[in-house]
Structure 1
Amino acid sequence: MKEDFYDILGIDKSASAAEIKKAYRKRAIEHHPDKNPGDTSAEEKFKKAAEAYEILSDPNKKGKYDQYGHQAFGGGGGGFGGGMNMDDIFSQFGDIFGGGGGGGGFGGGGRRMVKGSNLRIRVKLTLEEIANGVEKKIKVKRKKVAEGTTYDTCRTCNGSGQVVRIQNTILGRMQTAATCTACGGAGQTVDKKPSNADEQGMLATEETVSIKIPAGVVDGMQLKVSGKGNDAPGNGISGDLLVAIEEIPHDNLQREGDNLHYDMYISFSEAVLGTSKEIETVTGKVRIPIESGVQSGKILRLRRKGIPSINGYGTGDLLVHVNVWTPKTLTKEQKEFFEKMSDDSHFEPKPEKGDKSFFEKVKDMFS
């Protein structure tokens, strides 16, 4: 089981943004590769701390993690668990180590790594796909560095990605650093590029991306596929592909959290005599018995026939709502039969103590 992000940083869920940053800096410096050369265990802890900080430092990601756990990000955490290297971490969090806003402040290589822009797509899923999990192959239009493109060190910033300015003020000499406008912070400019590439050496391409969607996702949830966004010029990091989930309404089933609801209609004679009915579930059809004398409004619970919990807390139930259909038109013989039965004691309403009222059933359903 994946380790809890709060445990990795040694903080509580109530920790403030400043406390989260302080805890990450402490862990990162403690396990930094420069301080632990050749120690693979320390490097792994360093990556875990960076992964935890990436999620917990972002209010939106933190909210989703608090609600859904690791499953909110496709079963993993952030991007680092999915194959990002040490340069990736330095490029995004180099400023944590006091390195002047770039990756090179504390062993990051001396140059700010640029990350390509993220892409966003929406994926529609049926209730069956949500219940069972699915792998989708989606065609994505993304920018990639064109084949044959080469880059030179930027002459304006000498490859640092930043331009340092010194100003004389009444308080003394002030030094400021800003992103280099000549290279956009990449530290590199285009040397050669094919004629069909843009000014940054990029080319628009279409790529089929495989997206593994875990069971139990909810409408509006956003998953991330690391490195499948737009490329960055030079030797930068590719952006991410953000996948928004859209649930397609089911014809017969209604979702309520991890539980499902199904309205089953039976005839008056079936309610009197009893029967069995085949109904639809997200894992296939099942046949359930209906006892004789069943009352309209009765709820039958099929255990673990609902949606798996995104947090791994088991599977919801399928609640079958029995509705006795009263005929609106009768033949002369049928009408005569019911007229004879109107005074029969078997047809008089006799609710038992175990028969709950409508309001009690609603209360039970939401409790």
Structure 2
Amino acid sequence: MSKRDYYEVLGVDKGAGKDEIKKAYRKMAMKFHPDRNPDNAEAEAKFKEASEAAEVLLDENKKSRYDQFGHAGVDGQAGGFGGGFGGGFGGGDFGDLGDIFGEIFGGGRRGGGRRRSSARAGNDLQMALEVDFSEAAFGCEKTISINRLAECGTCHGSGGKDGSKPVDCDMCGGMGEVRRQQGFFTVSQTCPKCQGSGQKIDNPCGKCNGDGRSRKKTELSVKVPAGIDHGQRLKLSGEGDAGSKGGPAGDLYVVIDLKEHDLFERDGFDVHCTIPVSFSQAALGADIEVPTLDGKVSVKVPSGTQSGKKMRLKGKGIQRLGGYGQGDQIMHIHVETPQTLTKEQEELFMKLAEMDSDNSHPMSRGFFDKVKDLFQ
């Protein structure tokens, strides 16, 4: 198969300068590098093709011969992917092309490199905590029990039996990564033997099997702030699973599960409560005792109060998170209809019914006037 024109491969004009060629090659390498496209033969072929084109066009001597004679002028001198590129680019100025490695893999390590840390952070955990309505309103302190990974008490986190220490992995020499040459790249990959830790344990601890951590049930004290609501989370930093090989512990998230109250219903920082009153109390007005989160208070129900009327008690709701004020308590008045009457009560209600007038029931009068107009 005939080779494509090198300028066409990189997508540049024949008169392109080195900076433009470098930029074009960097773009191709970032897109088609085999480590970014594992098991993709087409991408690997395009990477090889771009690498070969860059090797020629960035070397002044090779470029001159290519411009004059085409592929025939450089055949056998372009090493291509994985072939060492002949004489090592013949003194061409490739500058920062090696930085592509860093862009692809998060930091190029040309030369000796450095040891990869084997420390790993612990997992974050989450659990539900049931709290009473009043506990959420006023705040409280609760004790929780959590089963989490903690430092192994037998090996004290080393993972080795009888105090033995990990040793450097014999495949990567403790670096946590292995390298292979791909053209003018030195490509690093996670060591398959130690999984990137750089170490191995020849004689693992019998309790944790070399992990350095084991399950442990722990009790913790949790401060529940006043005003917290259902579904909100508390974060306990560092109380999740322990990290491995000296890594930091994860966090514990405690999700609030708010129990329902027999009398109150929460709406943000306000609380709602249904207050039953009798016919006589609603008609004549009365001073009644109503429950609040702080205890009972006396409330005056005005005469002529209708069922469904709302009355607000300022500052008798939930404390706002952070302590900045409180919500209100909203009372929903419910006028009760007696279900059983004594003979005397029945006589009194019958007498009252005879005495009823339109003026005493303005809502009913207005309603029936509208019905009358509707069907005329």
After TM superposition, the score normalised by the length of structure 2 is: 0.57
| Cα distance change, pair 308–293 in 1 and its aligned pair in 2 (3 A) | same
Q: Are 1:256 and 2:270 counterparts?
A: no
- Contact 2:116/2:196 (<8 A) preserved: no
Select which of 214, 221, 229 maps to 1:203.
214
**Code of the aligned partner of 1:132:** F
Larger deviation, residues 225-234 vs 149-158:
149-158
Select which of 318, 341, 344 maps to 2:329.
318
Which secondary structure does the structure 1 equivalent of 2:290 belong to?
strand
CA RMSD of aligned residues (A): 3.4
- Contact 1:119/1:230 (<8 A) preserved: yes
- Contact 1:154/1:183 (<8 A) preserved: no
Other-structure match for 2:150: 144
Q: Deviations over 1:6-35 (max 9, x none)?
A: xxxxxxxxxxxxxxxxxxxxxxxxxxxxxx
**Code of the aligned partner of 2:145:** K
Q: How far off is 1:109 after superposition? A: 9.6
Which secondary structure does the structure 2 equivalent of 1:251 belong to?
coil
Which secondary structure does the structure 1 equivalent of 2:166 belong to?
strand
Other-structure match for 1:165: 179
Report the identity percentage.
35
Q: Deviations over 1:58-102 (max 9, x none)?
A: xxxxxxxxxxxxxxxxxxxxxxxxxxxxxxxxxxxxxxx999659
Count of paired positions: 248
Which secondary structure does the structure 1 equivalent of 2:362 belong to?
coil
Q: What runs of 5+ residues in structure 1 fail to find an aligned partner?
A: 1-96, 352-367
- Contact 1:121/1:244 (<8 A) preserved: yes
**Cα distance in 2, alignment partners of residues 183 and 242 from structure 1:** 32
Other-structure match for 1:128: 134
**Cα distance in 1, alignment partners of residues 115 and 228 from structure 2:** 39
Q: How far off is 1:309 after superposition? A: 2.8
**Cα distance in 2, alignment partners of residues 154 and 284 from structure 1:** 68
Q: How far off is 1:168 after superposition? A: 1.7
**Cα distance in 1, alignment partners of residues 240 and 174 from structure 2:** 24
Other-structure match for 2:35: none
**Code of the aligned partner of 1:310:** L
| Cα distance change, pair 164–309 in 1 and its aligned pair in 2 (3 A) | farther
Other-structure match for 1:349: 361
- Contact 2:276/2:333 (<8 A) preserved: yes
Mapping for residues 62-77 of structure 1, pairs under 5 Å: none
**Code of the aligned partner of 2:187:** Q
**Code of the aligned partner of 1:261:** H
- Contact 2:317/2:326 (<8 A) preserved: yes
Q: How far off is 1:192 after superposition? A: 6.4
Q: How far off is 1:328 after superposition? A: 2.7
Q: Are 1:175 and 2:187 counterparts?
A: yes
**Cα distance in 1, alignment partners of residues 181 and 211 from structure 2:** 32
Q: Deviations over 1:151-196 (max 9, x none)?
A: 4354255555x41433526xx5252443x55555555544766533
**Cα distance in 1, alignment partners of residues 247 and 234 from structure 2:** 23
Larger deviation, residues 223-232 vs 303-312:
303-312
Larger deviation, residues 139-148 vs 330-339:
330-339
Q: Are 1:303 and 2:309 counterparts?
A: no
After TM superposition, the score normalised by the length of structure 1 is: 0.58
| Cα distance change, pair 284–190 in 1 and its aligned pair in 2 (3 A) | farther
| Cα distance change, pair 222–350 in 1 and its aligned pair in 2 (3 A) | same
- Contact 2:271/2:317 (<8 A) preserved: yes
Q: How far off is 1:324 after superposition? A: 0.8
